[in-house]
Structure 1
Amino acid sequence: MRKNILISCFFTFFIVLAAQAQMNPKIKLQDALKLIQDNYVDPVNDEQVVDAAIKAMLSSLDPHSSYVSREEVEAMNEQMTGSFAGIGISFAMVADSTFITGINPDGPAARAGLQVGDQITVVDGQSIFGKGLKNQEVMRLLRGEKGKAVKLNIIRKTQAEPLEFTVMREQIAELSITASYMVSKNVGYIALSIFSQSTRREMDEALKKLKALGMTKLILDLQSNGGGLVDAAIGVADEFLPAEKMVFYSVTNTGVKDHFLTGGYGQFMTGDLVVLIDESTASSSEILTGALQDWDRAVVVGRRSFGKGLMQKGLSLSDGSVIRLTAARYYTPSGRSIQKPYAKGKTDYFEDFNRRMASGELTEGGHINFPDSLKHITLTNKRVVYGGGGIMPDKFIPIDTALYSGWLNRLMSSGRVTQGAFNEVQQNRQALINKYPNFEAFNVSFKVDDKLIDQIMVSAAKQGGKLPPVTDQVARKTIAVEVKAAMADMLFLGKSYTLRVRNEASAAFTTALNILNNQNTYNQFLSAKPAKNTATSKTLKK
């Protein structure tokens, strides 16, 4: 009898364990929170604990599923809608002071009479001079509610006494197109930094303007474009591809396919097109690049893109926060998945740049050999393209190692380049304007004085900034470009001058221009037997 009772208890014990093992995960999560609330030694902030739990759950999925707090959602919405309430200026922190370095000619600051070079000392009664504030902190003070005025105290070099301005905040467009201009008589250039709600409208307007100026060929710059709204990418593709052309298709976890096609309402469906990409070109910008490459519509120049082929769906929680959950994979029109592997976890996934740099892939051609399983054929000219880890360019351009060097990052973050450029403009503004009445004259003829470069490098070295030797010509050339770019932005009203100066020194930009200026070269890249590009010596790991 006792033996039977023991056996019965034994089986009951395992039945209880089995029941516990099969516990509803939702109830388990609630129980865990209740145990923490009742037993933890200190008072518990329930929201923080739940947020941490949600983040931990999502971290076990893929690198791009994430939790976004309600505060972050508001900031993202501002970026995606492409506008904010402000006064229409750009500024720089120089020697713990805030100086206006650019003014939107159509904005409220310009109408109020503010000028480039003005030093802002007080915002709404709060001193910002000598406070060690960061850019974001000053920006929060200047931005605010639309229709609400902000009061500024200004020191102007030409005035003996401080000035006071009351500027009404207005809706300021935060444009996704950072530059749009004619490079030559028939070649245009558009730089797109993000895909937002205003992107299609901006692109349509930019193309119309450039075409009116004589554009028949275009450089579309997607370098460092991390993506954005997928609908915006479809809209931009529509500018370049005829009606009913597939931009991409998506596949859900149940195998459901959705195909996304162009509408045929674009502005530039036939002119020659070069797309610039790099290792930071990702997501929606890869969708666009993949579609243009698959339809043989553009020559792609640069370096292999980031490799994000997962589509996130925003799922709102009741408090305004959002779970961005990967809901589908996308494929280019030829059937390519460009998602790079992520089985080793997030840390390994986001260290991909360092591996590319260490392997030599970013600095020289000949370091990638895609296996046949990743081979695909373009839809018009039947060229070979590859998936499995980003968009591979038709023409490789090595990375400018100076731009990614530690010394330049330290130098730029120190503010010494901006300060040197600012001082040069403040001391010689009128003489510079007299000599260079417009940007074109400045860009062609102005050369940064070697003494100014020496001062910047010596100043950085004194403050512990380890820089290359003063005789390092690469370093000097890089600093000269950055100083000239900053000065251009401070001298001339408008936008895009900084990028235009940098483009003149960019190998990707000049290569794109050379391709567009040689019709045979352009046609050869898009033919079934393109010009030699990147040798293949190392296999891309799946």
Structure 2
Amino acid sequence: MAGYQKKYLPIFFCVAVALGIFIGSTLNYSSNPTNLLGGNAKKEKLNRLIDYIDYEYVDPINTDSIVEVTVNGILENLDPHSVYIPPSELQEVSESMKGDFVGIGISFYNFNDTIAVIQAIPGGPSEKAGIRGGDRIVAADDQSLTGADVLDDSITNQLKGQINTKVALKVKRPGVDGLLDFKVTRSVVPLKSVDASYMATDTLGYIKINRFAESTPEEFEKALLSLKRKGARQLVLDLRGNPGGYISAAEQIADQFLKEDQLILFTKNKTGKIENAYATDEGNFETGKLYVLINENSASASEIVAGAIQDNDRGVIVGRRSFGKGLVQREMQLGDGSAVRLTIARYYTPTGRSIQRPYDAGNKAYYEDYLSRYKNGEMQSADSIAVADSLRYVTPGGNVVYGGGGIIPDVFIPKDTNYEKEAITYALRAGYMSRFIFEIIEQRRPYFNSLSYEQFQEEVSISDAQMNDFVAYLNARNLKIRIRDYKADLKRYLKAVMAQQLFGNTIFEKLVNEEDPAIIKIKALSREE
């Protein structure tokens, strides 16, 4: 799994890292599990040190924190993608990868010390009960959810619960006197991994996947079949910014495009055992023209899909060189509510290439490789991408591909690194744009909630005054920017975020993509077919 951030506790950091280095250097991977985990000297040495600290150290110490830092120190010396997940985070991580949770189904802000509903998730229990954007949830089961002292965790705990249990909500709706009462039955709420699917042209469909969760293959197939019914004979699969996820989900997505018995990938563990994954005869898009969009933040399972498509000469890879993660992790429970994701194998694309970037210089250098891509110019030019002739491979169709650090696209799209454009993107990712737009909608909530999408497109535009207000909003939050050359881009993003809050992610992606250089290029390529 890529993109998971490690958290290090400051207490005894130096001691813990030293322990981690010592233990990491003495792990013998040729030993059997009994020798590794049994009553050997190395394990006893670590246990004895922790006991000494627990019973003899001059100040009271939480030895649980020492253990966690030690675990992180050990993993730090293995590879960048073996990570520890503490008990406090495991449930959230598991829900994200499973693709659902049990709750009432809303997205919300803690706005002015009140839960303000951004949107009731379509098809979820809150939408079915009648809750809508702009509602304020002031109490759940007679427990107040307002005030500065109410923490996000307590809010979440009140709204989540066991499946089929009911929660009584008191809601303040703008423009309505008094409080409204709702009884919402908690149910399984999907965490969508397919962000958007729509027809980009009369024959070109578009699907964006944000991660590879358990639910992704089913979500994707549903979206794909819907687009085919609408006339899609060509498809854009957008994996930009997708950090990866389950290999099995990536295999099932690749299987949709490849013919039976075509190799998707193979893995190799420390003993040299090789396991191959082949496509089945169940693909729903084995012949239509395919374009796969990737960038420097497409990793892991995203690279598996892109590599399988490229190595089988099945489609066109468009964008920039991907992240370069070719390691396989397995999640293992540690018995106290925590878990470790441990690297257990490497994977290889069908031509036999590993796309894992070197990590022998340490984790810091590994993750700072992103900055070096700016410096060496490869964000602007494909000619600046360093390749090694020793890692040269040839596909069955005669196309040359390279291993050693990500998937290199067939069609390169440079990154716009202008400061204004980068600032707009950052403001979007950091949530500033979403909060600002929420406040604009709140000023005329009844009007905005009454709009159809067609009415929204015709009647709503972002004015110069609103654009300038947003710049001032950012400046007041210490993000100092000026917008001179990218005013149209900023207005388009602000309107797209407004559409997202009113109508969902698909409309957001559709509006943002209207001027996207990669989508424009793909549309041009699709017309040449």
Normalising by the smaller structure, the TM-score range is 0.7 to 0.9
- Mapped contact 1:150–1:167 kept (Cα < 8 A): yes
Q: Does 1:108 align with 2:108?
A: no
Match of 2:438 in 1: 422
Query: Which residue in 1 is equivalent to 2:494?
Result: 483
Check the 8 A contact 1:121/1:128 in 2, yes or no: yes
Contact preservation (8 Å) 1:402, 1:408: no
Residues 41 and 376 (structure 1 numbering): CA distance in 2 closer, same or farther, change over 3 Å?
A: same
Q: Distance in 2 between matches of 1:425 and 1:232?
A: 38
Q: Whole-Å Cα distance in 1 between the matches of residues 151 and 526 of structure 2? A: 43
SS at match of 2:296: coil
Q: Give the 3-state SS of the residue equivalent to 2:438 in structure 1.
A: helix
Match of 2:31 in 1: none
Q: Quote the offset at 1:161 in angstroms.
A: 1.9
Instruction: Tell me the equivalent position of 2:452.
Output: 437
Structure of larger gyration radius: 1
- Is 1:390 the counterpart of 2:406 in the alignment? yes
**Pick from 358, 365, 376: which aligns with 1:341?**
358
**Residue equivalent to 2:30:** none
Matches within 5 A, 1:64-75: 64-75=81-92
Indicate how the Cα distance of structure 1 residues 432 and 176 shifts in structure 2: closer, same or farther if over 3 A, else same. closer
Map 1:57-68 onto structure 2 (within 5 A).
57-68=74-85
Secondary structure class of the residue paired with 2:131? coil
Give the C-alpha shift of residue 124 in structure 1.
4.2
Q: After superposition, what is the alpha-carbon deviation per residue over 1:45-64, rounded to whole angstroms, capped at 9, x for unaligned?
A: 34332222222112111111
The match for 1:84 among 101, 106, 112 is: 101
Distance apart, 1:500 and its partner CA: 1.8
* CA deviation string 1:242-296 (max 9, x = no partner): 1111111111112221111111211100000000111111111111110100001
Per-residue Cα deviation, 1:468-489 (whole angstroms, up to 9, x for no partner): 1x5x131x33431222112212
Measured against aligned partners, the alpha-carbon deviations of 1:72-125 in whole angstroms (never above 9, x if no partner) come to 332222122211112222223555554322223322112212122223333444
How many equivalent residue pairs? 492
Secondary structure, aligned partner of 2:276:
strand
Contact 1:410 / 1:465 at 8 angstroms: preserved in 2? Answer: no
Structure 1 runs not aligned, ≥5 long: 1-20, 520-542
Aligned counterpart, 2:514: 504
Paired letter, 1:457: V
Compared CA separation, residues 144 and 427, structure 1 to 2 (3 A):
same
**Aligned residue runs from structure 1 range 239-388, under 5 A:** 239-379=256-396, 381-388=397-404
Matched-pair identity in %:
36
Tell me how far apart the structure 1 counterparts of residues 426 and 327 of structure 2 sit (CA, whole Å).
34
| Structure-1-length-normalised TM-score | 0.83
Aligned equivalents of 1:334, 1:325: Cα separation in 2? 26
Moved more, 400-409 or 168-177: 400-409
Paired residues for 1:449-464 under 5 Å: 449-464=463-478
Distance 1:305 1:447, change over 3 A: same
Letter in 2 for 1:305: S
Structure 2 unaligned blocks of 5 or more: 1-25, 28-39
Tell me whether 286-295 or 414-423 shows the greater mean CA deviation: 414-423
* Structure 1 residue matching 2:383: 3-state secondary structure: coil
Q: Matched residue of 2:465: which SS? A: helix
Within 5 Å, give how 1:11-26 maps onto structure 2.
Answer: 24-26=41-43
TM-score by length of structure 2 reads 0.85
Distance 1:138 1:350, change over 3 A: farther
Structure 2 counterpart SS, 1:114: coil
Of the three residues 243, 251, 270, the one matched with 1:234 is 251
Letter of the 1:473 partner, please give it: D
Indicate if the aligned counterparts of 2:133 and 2:449 stay in contact, CA closer than 8 A: no
Counterpart-to-counterpart distance in 2, 1:189 and 1:228: 21
Over 3 Å counting, the alpha-carbon distance change for 1:466 and 1:128 in structure 2 is farther
- Counterpart residue identity of residue 501, structure 1: L
Check whether the contact 1:376–1:385 (CA below 8 A) recurs between aligned residues.
Answer: yes
